[in-house]
Amino acid sequence: MKRCVGGVPFRERYRDPSGRSHHPEPLSVLVGPKGIQHGTEATSRRLAGIILPRQGLKRRTDGITVAERSGTGTSGGTGNNSGWWRTFNDKFVVEERYMEPVARKGLYRTAAVLMVIGMLLFGAALAVVLQSGSGPTTIDEASRTWLLTLRSEPLTGVMIFLAVVFGPIGLPIIVLVVNVVWGFMAKHAWRPIVLAAAMLTGVLISQIILQIVRRSRPPVDLMLFGPDSTFSFPSGHVLGACDFLLVTTFLVFSRRENHRAAVAGFVAAGVGVVLAALSRLYLGYHWLSDAVASVALSLLILGAVIALDTWRTARIPGERITGELSRADAPGD
């Protein structure tokens, strides 16, 4: 091993502007395969920056400071801060995944179709309601008459249970628990955040439309779970259930390769939507057109979620992955 760094002896390396050496004694510093090896304590202290900074001397070895070689100094705090920010950015901001170009185009196409269907279906329901003077339509009356013939004490108990689960108390608790658990357990928190945003969007849209249309509910004497004098169009219970079931199903199964499981998941979500709507109609709190409008709005929200999630997370081969956690799942070159 040589007693030098970069071909320059240490005795000549550390000089002040006057050219006088501050190391009359031989320096016990060896540069070998493992980097700088300190000999005497005085030399170690000089290289560690205890003496040399006071003398105004430069202490760089081939353009890299000793502190940088050893990983100490002020840069360590900055590195820790950057690490915390990177973790936050990767978990709460960035989620990226590779897919084939055809698959990404298919997702955008699906999102567009769902949004168009949702807008057309909601527009039709709204037009029918406004044409009837905010009262029940012929289809509303027919569906109510049919449901009245199905009423029984056991079935009423089941419908009340469903109304509580998808109601303004039960459903928010379920959504909160799912989001908190999912956010902590998942490598990325992007999907729980999207789910929460979709649910809040549905609530805001519902409240705005309720105040604009101001449609009356069915007669109070037909309500089986207490009177409700608020407006009817659209159904907040049905919209909340649709948003939660459909958006959650997409966010979960869009990351899985098993298409049969995805189909089964959406079938189960569809059954849940039907049950939520049926409970509100059976218990006498909404007209059929209220539930149809809610499903239409939920399809519109689902399409927007698919488009947003695809734009933010879907990458095709050749595109850059920005997040460290996402890069760990990226295919090899």
pLDDT digits (tens, 9 = 90+) for 231-252: 889 998 999 999 999 999 999 9
pLDDT at residue 213 greater than cutoff 70: yes
Residues 190, 142 share a domain:
yes
Nearest-5° Cα angle at 67, 64 to 68: 45
Is 329 or 320 the better-scoring residue by pLDDT?
320
pLDDT digits (tens, 9 = 90+) for 77-88: 444 556 676 666
Average pLDDT in the chain: 77
pLDDT at residue 74 greater than cutoff 60: no
Going by C-beta distance under 8 Å and a sequence separation of 6 or more, which residues neighbour residue 238? 166, 273, 276, 277, 280, 286, 290, 291, 294, 295, 298
Residues 236, 135 share a domain:
yes
The pLDDT value given to residue 332: 56
Residues 160, 19 share a domain:
no
Please give the average per-residue pLDDT across 259-281, as a whole number. 92
β-strand pairing of 8-9 with 4-5:
antiparallel
298 within a domain of the structure (yes/no) = yes
26-30, 86-90, 237-241, 318-322, range with the lowest pLDDT = 26-30
The tokens of 131 are what?
Answer: 């044409």
The pLDDT value given to residue 48: 43
138 within a domain of the structure (yes/no) = yes
Confidence of residue 25 (pLDDT cuts 50, 70, 90): very low
Q: Are 250 and 302 in contact (CB under 8 A)?
A: yes
Residues 11, 108 share a domain:
no
50 within a domain of the structure (yes/no) = yes
172 within a domain of the structure (yes/no) = yes
Residues 262, 114 share a domain:
yes
The pLDDT value given to residue 250: 95
Residues 218, 108 share a domain:
yes
Please provide the DSSP assignment of 46-58 as one string.
HHTTSSHHHHT--
The pLDDT value given to residue 66: 36
Residues 177, 110 share a domain:
yes
pLDDT at residue 256 greater than cutoff 60: yes
pLDDT at residue 46 greater than cutoff 50: no
pLDDT at residue 130 greater than cutoff 90: no
Domain interval for residue 136: 101-313
12-16, 168-172, 243-247, 275-279, range with the lowest pLDDT = 12-16
Q: What percent of the chain has pLDDT over 90?
A: 38
The pLDDT value given to residue 188: 80
114 within a domain of the structure (yes/no) = yes
Tokens 């992007």 sit at which residue?
A: 190
pLDDT at residue 75 greater than cutoff 80: no
Please give the average per-residue pLDDT across 36-62, as a whole number. 42
Residues 52, 12 share a domain:
yes
Neighbours of 20 (CB within 10 A): 8
pLDDT digits (tens, 9 = 90+) for 153-173: 899 999 999 989 988 889 999
Residues 111, 62 share a domain:
no
What's the number of CA atoms in the CB half-sphere (13 Å) around residue 71? 3
The tokens of 80 are what?
Answer: 């820790």
Confidence of residue 118 (pLDDT cuts 50, 70, 90): very high
pLDDT at residue 5 greater than cutoff 70: no
Nearest-5° Cα angle at 128, 122 to 129: 90
Residues 305, 222 share a domain:
yes
85 within a domain of the structure (yes/no) = no
pLDDT digits (tens, 9 = 90+) for 170-180: 999 999 999 89
C-alpha gyration radius of the chain: 33
Residues 32, 177 share a domain:
no
pLDDT at residue 317 greater than cutoff 80: yes
pLDDT at residue 9 greater than cutoff 70: no
Distances (CA, A) of 279 to 150, 161, 204, 216, 288: 12, 9, 23, 18, 11
332 within a domain of the structure (yes/no) = no
Q: Among the residues of the chain, which ranges form H helices?
A: 10-13, 41-47, 52-55, 66-70, 75-88, 101-131, 138-148, 153-165, 170-185, 190-213, 236-253, 259-282, 288-313, 324-327
Residues 309, 218 share a domain:
yes
The pLDDT value given to residue 243: 94
**CA–CA separation, 156 vs 143, rounded Å?**
17
10 Å CB burial of residue 128 (0-12, 13-18, 19+) is middle
Please give the average per-residue pLDDT across 97-102, as a whole number. 86
Confidence of residue 324 (pLDDT cuts 50, 70, 90): low
The domain total for the chain is 2
16 within a domain of the structure (yes/no) = yes
The tokens of 158 are what?
Answer: 């089941």
